Amino acid sequence: MNIHAKRIKDLQYLLKQNRLDAIVLSRTLEIGFLTGFHLDGLLMLVSRTGAWAFMPKMLLADFNSKVNFVKASSPDNMLEAAAAKVKELGLKKAVFEPETESYLRGNFWKKCGFAEHKGLTSSLRKIKEGEEVELLRKSCHIAAKAFGIIKPRIKTGRTELSVYRELEDIMQAMGAKGPSFNLIIGFGPDSALPHHETSERKLRNNEAVLIDYGCVYGNYCSDITRTYFHGKPDAEFKKVYAIVDAAQKAGLAKVRAGVKTRDVDAACRSHISDAGYGQYFIHGTGHGVGLEIHEAPTLNTKSEEVLTAGMAVTVEPGIYLQGKFGVRIEDSVLVTRTGCEILTKMAR
């Protein structure tokens, strides 16, 4: 069976499990996941037994040539057409996902009798299978290889933004569609800001360099962070780097199917806390990665989610000494039954 047709069947199974009759979807990401058609402007309705797509006429022929398992049409008003189809079929429990809908569309669906129901499609996207895994591997391979190319080119006097632009170009030259998020390039004290906005700051001798980046390949995202010292590192940087490196290794060793995500966080966090730097680890240990750069599951102190084989997550502990430097080491990994496959292991 076509992987996308299978995903629709999986969603229909979830509808039955949750005693729902239908779900309406309007975000390109979810529709692309279910159909393989990633262009904007579509609306989709999935019931327990059928699937319909509504779109502008200019997309209809293209859609029909690529997706033969969904009934497609181009009505004058797509929202009203979806609501009318629900009424025509006598579906009583139709829903929409509030986390993926706009405020105006959400109100429209409510007026039409649709209820809110969170997390149906995101639960399907947690587990990567088939071509998804290969696309993730390729995306991560490109990003990892790019670090080896860009690092020798980062010289004293270069600006953060110039590295940002060249790193994007390198990844695109290797086949990436583009960056998976706004790349974070932090020199010196800027590396101590976890979500630093890359600037025109110039690199000086003897300071930290932090590069948090990734790319999109085949619609799948990679995420990786590397930190190193430009010049001769002092004792403090060496100590902090060694702590973060060991913490990340402890987290990676914890990753496997059946483990709670908070336990991976605890493995990283306890190592940093035991070394006396607990207050400087100021974010969660990781997150899922796939069609979006941040998706389920989350790896933090409060998460109750359990890792399953096929999930793709990041492991990214860090220590941030404001006004001095920060160290973060991040890899994207694929969860297996017995451990994990490090997808970004080439770059060190």
Residue-level pLDDT at 38: 94
User: Which pair of structure tokens corresponds to residue 18?
Assistant: 């949750």
**Tens of pLDDT, residue by residue, the chain (348 residues):** 689 999 999 999 999 999 999 999 999 999 999 999 999 999 999 999 999 999 999 999 999 999 999 999 999 999 999 999 999 999 999 999 999 999 999 999 999 999 999 999 999 999 999 899 999 999 999 999 999 999 999 999 999 999 999 999 999 999 999 999 999 999 999 999 999 999 999 999 999 999 999 999 999 999 999 999 999 999 999 999 999 999 999 999 999 999 999 999 999 999 999 999 999 999 999 999 999 999 999 999 999 999 999 999 999 999 999 999 999 999 999 999 999 999 998 765
| pLDDT in the model for residue 347 | 60
pLDDT of residue 50: 97
Give me the pLDDT at residue 348, please.
Answer: 59
Distance CA 62, CA 58 (A): 8
State how far the Cα of 154 lies from the Cα of 163, in Å rounded to an integer: 7
Domain 131-342 belongs to what topology? Answer: Creatine Amidinohydrolase (3.90.230)
pLDDT value at residue 346: 77
**Exposure string for 304-334, b = 16+ CB within 10 A, e = fewer:** ebebebbbbbbbbbbbbbeebbbbbbbbbbb
Domain with CATH 3.90.230.10 in the chain: 131-342
For residue 209, the model assigns a pLDDT of 98
Sheet containing strand 22-25, strands side by side: 71-73, 51-54, 43-47, 22-25, 94-96, 115-116
Beta bridge partners of 89: none
What is the reported pTM? 0.93
- State the span(s) of the chain assigned CATH 3.40.350.10: 3-125
Q: How much is the pLDDT for 2?
A: 87
State the Cα–Cα distance between residues 52 and 87, nearest whole angstrom: 14
Q: According to the CATH classification, is domain 3-125 in 3.30.70.270?
A: no
User: What is residue 274's predicted lDDT score, i.e. its pLDDT?
Assistant: 98
